[in-house]
Structure 1
Amino acid sequence: MESKEKETVLRLFFALWPNTVERTALAAWQPPLRESCGGRAMLPDTLHTTLVFVGNVAEHRLETLRLAAQEVSGRGFGLDLTEAHYWGHNHIVYAAPQTVPVQLADLVIDLEHSLRKHRFHFEQRPYKPHVTLLRNAQWSEASLPAMRTVRWRIEDFVLVHSLSDEQGARYEVLARFPLQGGD
C-alpha cells in the first residue's frame, strides 16, 4: 500500500523590511500610542510593510515564486512614515506615509503582474502602505498624537514566511530582492 505524504504549505508574503535603525525609530512610536490607545505592541522584529500577501503556497512552487519576484525591476526610493492612524474594524494602530511614493505604487503593481503571470493567487485590494504598531487597540475618530517622522530608505524587498506558534506570529525572511539605485 502506497502512502501519500501531504505536501508542505507555506504562508507567504512580500514586504518592505526595515533595518535596525528604522525598526528602532518605529518601535519608539509604540509607547506613546499605547498610552493613548491601549492594545498590544507588535514585537520590533516583526515590523514591516506588506507589499502583497500571497497566502498559502505549496512548497514545490517556492522557486517559481522567487522567479516571479526576480522579474520585478524597481528603483530604490525613500519612504517617510509621518502619521499614526487607527483602523476601527480590526483595532489596529499603524504608521503610514502622508503620500505614497510613485516607486512604491509601481513596485506593487509590477509584483502583482508578475505573480499573476506565474499563476499565483493573492489578496487583491487597494494598496495602502502601513506598518502595524499595535493590535487590540481602542480609539475614536480623533487624530492620534503626532509622531517624529521615520525616514526609511527602500533598497530591496523581501519574501517572508509567516509562522504561528503558541507565542504568536513570527516571520522568517526567505529571500531579498534588490532594487536599482534610487533617487
Structure 2
Amino acid sequence: MQRLFFSLKFSAGQQQQLLPYQQQALKLCPDAKAVASDNLHLTLFFLGQTDNEQQQRLISAAGQIKLAPFSITLDTLSCFNKPKILYLAPSETPEALLQLQQQMAECCHAAGFSDMHDKYRPHITLARQAGCSEHYQQRVMPLTLEVSEFALYQSVFGVNYHGRFASIMMAG
C-alpha cells in the first residue's frame, strides 16, 4: 500500500519561480518549515492508501481525461490553521482547473475513493508548522504558470513527494 495523490505537475523551472513567494511567506512566520522546492505542487485529489491494482485502474482512468492546457495565476498568500500551513493560491480559480479537478474526483470516486475535504481549495503549500492566523491573507505580485500535465505522486512521511507513477499530458 502506498499513500498517493493526483497533482498538477510543475516543471523544475516553475518550482523555482515559486521560491520568492516561499521566502516572502517565511518572513511572516520565520519558525515555519519550508517545503523543498521539488515538493511544491497543487493537489487535485488526495487518495490516501492505495494498492497496486487500484493504482493501475486510477492511472488508466486519469489517462482518459481530455482537457486543453491552461494557465493559473497565483496571487494570494494565506494560511490554514489545521494543518498549520502557509500557502500560495489563486484569488480566482480558473474554470479549466475546476473542470480538471471535477473530472479527477469523478474518476477517483468511481474507483471507490472518497473526497476528504468539503470543498476544493486549490493552493500550493509553501511552509508547514506555521503559526499564523487563518484569517491572514495578502495579495502578492501575480505569478502565472502554464499547466499542461498532471501526475500521480506518492507521499512519503507526509511531506516528501516522489515516485511519480504516471504523468498525463493534457490535450493540446
TM-score (norm 2): 0.90
RMSD: 1.8
- SS for the counterpart of 1:152 is strand
1:7-86 paired onto structure 2 within 5 Å: 9-38=1-30, 39-86=32-79
Query: What is the rounded CA distance, in whole Å, between the counterparts of 1:91 and 1:110 in structure 2?
Result: 29
Take 2:101 and 2:119, find their aligned partners in 1: how far apart are those partners? Answer: 10
Displacement after TM superposition at 1:122 (Å): 4.3
Q: Write the distance in 1 (CA, Å) between the matches of 2:62 and 2:108.
A: 8
Partner residue of 2:113?
Answer: 120
Q: Aligned pair count?
A: 170
Q: Which residue of 2 aligns with 1:5?
A: none
1:117 is displaced (CA, Å) by 2.4
Whether contact under 8 Å (1:85, 1:93) holds in the other structure is yes
One of 156, 159, 163 as aligned partner of 1:163 = 156
Alignment deviations for residues 103-128 of structure 1 (CA, whole Å, 9 cap, x no partner): 11011111111222233344343111
- Where does 1:79-98 land on structure 2 (aligned, <5 Å)? 79-98=72-91
1:172 correspondence with 2:163:
yes
Q: Distance in 2 between matches of 1:91 and 1:85?
A: 11
Change (3 A) 1:21 1:148: farther
Aligned residues of 2:153 and 2:161 also touching (Cα < 8 A): no
Residue type matched to 2:84 in 1?
Answer: H
AA aligned opposite 1:169: N
- Which consecutive residues of structure 1, in runs of 5 or more, have no partner in the other structure? 1-8
Identity rate of aligned residues, in percent? Answer: 25
Distance in 2 between the 1:152 and 1:139 partners?
27
Give secondary structure in 2 for the equivalent of 1:113: helix
TM-score (norm 1): 0.85
Residues 5 and 48, structure 2, Cα contact 8 Å, conserved in 1: yes
In 1, the alpha carbon distance for the partners of 2:60 and 2:137 equals 42
* Partner deviation per Cα, 1:81-134 (whole Å, 9 max, x = no partner): 111001123221100001011111011111111222233344343111000001
